[in-house]
Chains A and B, each alone.
Chain A
């Protein structure tokens, strides 16, 4: 947030020192009063509940059996970490996350290039890619589910696809539809972030490379990709963390059947369906740690480059 310096064109240092400190102090007070409501609202539903989740996670609390409550230490965690279901769900979540984000990166880059370079119709493209962004995730999931369902769908009537293909009857065919719906819904966001990185590249570089005889592919791999690295990393970070939380699409399409459960679905099932707050909270805390770990790896691995990835910031 280095741009804060020019935001104040009249540095207090210009005034006599006595009034400066009073002015500075009242400015600090005003700033904190302005920020306090937003900060409180943000902490109310994050810091306090995550603390409460940690407290719940070391107790046996099952709302169906309230008499058996009590402190159990790390038993809930060892129960989760030794269950094959947790590791299977981690696999599912990471599998969906990696495939979705990888497809989106390629597709998003292609769409960003179309939006950036098309010699006509850029407005149309930009407008139409926002449609998936505006649609409720649950609605998009239903649309794709109905499209692939053997009874209502049109997909099985397409050439090259078996008429009786039961997409939601198997694990990886279910994943294929889930991933497709996720990609459709979130690629626009990726494309727009990549476009923001594309427009910062000096077009003179392309002209120079063209004069030197570089092919379009060479220009893309030698100029576009390296210069876009920061923007790509920021887009990847946001989308990876978002994809790790995948819930809506899987809930609508399979509810976790055919071994397609994600960790968020597991948490929901424990907490809300089975009312097992102790075990469910352990799952919640572990998911939180996973997200923290992913963010940490990104920042650790690409920290400085992430910093560069803020055009105009």
Chain B
């Protein structure tokens, strides 16, 4: 009995420590965003008085004047389009790698791994120059293309790991029953592959949603600037007021939905992260 309850206490402490570690910055941002402007510098961890002024100022002026709405639309649009294209391309490639024998397979996997380790800063200069020449500077495609490149390796590794677990005999059974290879793929394999595809999609979305380097280097206006870049250029209502409250509120708006999403699909994300990084 004594030993059991001391074990219980020991693990409780460990779990509480991990929870505090993970949650403090999030609780802090929420608390900061709820402070009225005059209390923002009171240094209290929990606000003494709650106000939604910071949130109101974010959305004031509608789409044309708000410093936040257009970047939010850009972030959501760019991340979603990146996810759809990356998952489509990665699914084709992963299917071939998991299912078919062909020369160059190892080369593709090694190349993908190399790109996963590639320093993005090394491509920023050339892309800046090329995008201005091609008219892609400060446009959605100008960000979607590099995001595709750097998310494809992760997507391919995750999908290959998942596709290998699929019972491929079913596909042959379908072909024996008269289905064409393409029918066998769409009707039998796709439904089985859906969980892996979904996992890869979450990881690609988070990657595109998180990027900052390309977002500040390849954009110059609200036409394509995403939230992380916009946050770095936020200004206060006058040049003497710090935009702390607005940044905190904007941070909460872009963080809370992702956290809920991550918590809801945590099992898939854990499986995907470990498969994508360790397997191969």
Q: Which residues of A contact B (CB under 8 A)?
A: 1, 3-4, 7-10, 12, 24, 27-28, 30-32, 34-35, 37-39, 41-42, 44-46, 48-50, 52-53, 56, 111, 114, 118-121, 124-140, 142-144, 146-147, 151-154, 156-157, 184, 188-189, 192-193, 195-197, 231, 234-235, 238, 241, 244-245, 247-248, 251-252, 263-264, 267-268, 271-272, 277, 280-281, 284-285, 287-288, 291, 295, 309-313
Chain A residues positioned under 8 Å from B122 (CB to CB): 49-50, 53, 267, 284-285, 287-288
Complex CA distance for A27 and B100, rounded to whole angstroms: 7
| In contact, B124 and A267 (Cβ under 8 angstroms) | yes
The 7 residue pairs across chains A and B that have the minimum distance between CB atoms: A45-B149, A134-B262, A49-B126, A31-B102, A34-B96, A38-B93, A143-B25
Please judge, given known A-B contacts A35-B108, A52-B130, A53-B125, whether A244 and B11 are in contact too, CB under 8 Å. no
- Among B115, B121, B169, the one with the most A-chain Cβ atoms within 10 Å of its Cβ is B121
- B100 contact set on A, CB distance < 8 A: 8, 27-28, 30-31, 34
B147 to chain A, nearest CB (A): 9
Describe B's contact surface by its main secondary structure.
Answer: helix
B210 at the interface (CB under 8 A from A): yes
For A192, give its contact among B169, B209, B270 (CB under 8 Å): B270
A272 touches B216 (CB 8 A): yes
Q: Given A42-B152, A146-B244, A184-B21, verify A49-B127 contact (CB < 8 Å).
A: yes
Query: Does A131 contact B259, Cβ atoms closer than 8 Å?
Result: yes
Q: Are A45 and B145 in contact (CB under 8 A)?
A: yes
Q: Closest chain A residue to B166 by CB distance?
A: A7
Instruction: Check B102 against A28 for contact (C-beta < 8 Å).
Output: yes
Question: With A7-B168, A129-B22, A309-B278 as given contacts, are A139 and B29 in contact (CB-CB < 8 Å)?
Answer: yes
Tally of chain B residues near chain A (CB < 8 A)? 100
Residues from 75 to 107 in B contacting A, C-beta threshold 8 Å: 89-90, 92-93, 95-106
A285–B125 alpha-carbon span in the complex (Å): 10
Q: Mask for B129-148, Cβ within 8 A of A = 1, else 0?
A: 11000000000000001101
B59 is an interface residue with CB less than 8 A from chain A = no
Q: Are B277 and A251 in contact (CB under 8 A)?
A: no
